[in-house]
Amino acid sequence: MCCSFVPSAFFEQIAEDESISEGVRQEAQNHANSITKTLAAAAEAAREDTKVKTRYTEIPNGFADFNCKIWDPKTGRVLGTSYESLPGTFYSSSQDPPYEQDSDVTDCMEALRSTYDFYKTIFGRNSIDDNGLQLEASIHYSIRYGNAIWEPQSRQMVVGDGDGNSRFGLFTGFFKPGSLVTSLDIIAHEFTHGVTQHTAKLEYKGQSGALNESISDVFGSMVLQWKLNQTVQEADWLLGANIIYTNSKSLEGFMREANSLRSMKDPSATSNLFPQPDSMKHELYYNGDNTWDHGGVHRNSGVPNFAFYQISMALGGHSWDRAGQIWYAALTDNRLERRARFVAFAQLTIEHAQKLYPDDPSVVQVVEQAWKDVAVL
C-alpha cells in the first residue's frame, strides 16, 4: 500500500506518547486510522471503476489544454454517497457552490500543471506514465483530513483539507486548513509516486520503500525550487513547510517548535515534525521490521534525501541542472530493481554522473563522496 505524505507512524507516535494529553492522542489515533481507511477506499473505487466518473465535465478557464480532473467526494454526498467515497463527483458550474467559488480547484490544477510542466520541460516526460496519463485528484476528502495520498490502483491523488481550526486566536489540530492542496511540494511528491510506479516500481517497504519516499521528496522539492526559480542556496529544502502552524499554540505547544514535516538540508533537526537520519550510521536510522512505517520508509528516506542535497550544494546552480538529471537517469534505468537497496541506486547515480558529464570528473567525485558521507558506500 502506498503512499501518504504524512506517515501514519507520525500520528501513531503521538498516540502512544503518554506525556501528551488524552484528547490530542485520540485525535492522532483517528488520523492514523483514517490513512489506512482512505487507501482501502481508494483501492475499492479503483476496482469498481465507479460510474460517477462518467458525469458531465467542465474545465475551468485557463485549463482547457490541460489533461486533468478534479473530483470532490463531498459533492458526491448529494448522490447518496459519503464524504469518503472516491473519486467523488466532478466539479461543474451547475453545482452549489460552483467551482469558481472554490479556489482549491484551480489551486490544485495549478500545482498539477506546474509539476507536469517541470517533468515535460526538464526531462521530456509526458505525464506520470510518459504517455499523457490524465491527472486526477480528489480534493476536500473526508472531514478535517490532514494528509495527501497517491493511490496506485486508481492512479489518482487524494487530498484532505487539513484538520486545523482557529478558535479564540489559538490553533488546534495538526495542519492548517486548506494548506495541503495549495502546497506544490506535496502535490509534486504525490505525482512522483506515480512516476516511480511507472518506472522503477520500487517496492514500498524497507530500503526500496525509503528510496521510493526519498525520490518523491527529491522531485517534490525540485518542482517547488523550479517554480520559484531558486538556486540551491536560495532553496529552503523543507517539505510540508506550508502546512505547519508556526508560532502558534497548536496542540498545547506540541507543534510549536516545528517549521516543516521534513528537511532535506537537516533531516534530523527537531524543527522537523518527523526527524530523520542523515546517515546510515545515525541513531534515527530504523533497523526494525516492516510493521512500523513499512520498515521506516518515511524515516530512512532522510539518507538519500541528504545525499541529494549534498550533491546539489556541491555542484551549485539549480538542483535540476545536474543532480536532478543524474537522479532521473537512475530512476528510469531499467536495471534499478523493484527491491533495490540504497547502494544499488547509489551505484547507478555514479554511473550516470560519468555518462552525463564525461568532461567534468568533479561531478562523479561529488556524487561518490556524498554517498560515502551518508555511509551508503
For Zn ion, the binding residues (CB under 5 A) are 3, 216
Residue for grid cell 542556496: 233
What residues have CB less than 8 Å from 283, skipping those under 6 apart?
277
What would the 3-class secondary structure string for the chain be? CCCECCCHHHHHHHHCCCCCCHHHHHHHHHHHHHHHHHHHHHHHHHHHCCHHHHCCCCCCCCCCCCCEEEEECCHHHHHCCCCCCCCCEECCCCCCCCHHHCHHHHHHHHHHHHHHHHHHHHHCCCCCCCCCCCEEEEEEECCCCCCEEEECCCCEEEEECCCCEEECCEEECCECCCCCCCCHHHHHHHHHHHHHHCCCCCCCCHHHHHHHHHHHHHHHHHHHHHHCCCCCCCCCCEECHHHECCCCCHHHHCCCCCCECEECCCCCCCCECCCCCCCCCCCCCCCCCCCCHHHHHHHHCHHHHHHHHHHHHHHCCCCCCCHHHHHHHHHCCCCCCCCCCHHHHHHHHHHHHHHHCCCCHHHHHHHHHHHHHCCCC
The residue (of 89 and 216) whose beta carbon lies closer to Zn ion is 216
Smallest separation, CB 209 to Zn ion (Å): 10
The residue (of 216 and 349) whose beta carbon lies closer to Zn ion is 216
Smallest separation, CB 227 to Zn ion (Å): 19
**Which residue of the set 140, 193, 294, 298 is catalytic?**
298
The residue (of 239 and 326) whose beta carbon lies closer to Zn ion is 239
Chain residue at closest Cβ approach to Zn ion? 3
Torsion sign (Cα): 224, 112, 262, 377: negative
Smallest separation, CB 212 to Zn ion (Å): 7
Residue pair 83/141 in contact (Cβ under 8 Å)? The answer is: yes
The residue (of 8 and 225) whose beta carbon lies closer to Zn ion is 8
- Here the cell at position 115 is 509539476
Q: Which residues pair with 71 in a beta bridge?
A: 90, 138
Smallest separation, CB 2 to Zn ion (Å): 7
What residues have CB less than 8 Å from 51, skipping those under 6 apart?
none
234 assigned to active site: no
16 assigned to active site: no
The residue (of 89 and 147) whose beta carbon lies closer to Zn ion is 147
Smallest separation, CB 39 to Zn ion (Å): 12
The residue (of 189 and 322) whose beta carbon lies closer to Zn ion is 189
The residue (of 216 and 300) whose beta carbon lies closer to Zn ion is 216
The residue (of 3 and 181) whose beta carbon lies closer to Zn ion is 3
- Here the cell at position 12 is 501513531
**Which residue of the set 27, 110, 151, 190 is catalytic?**
190
- How would you classify the pairing of strands 262-263 and 238-239? antiparallel
Residues with a known catalytic role: 190, 298
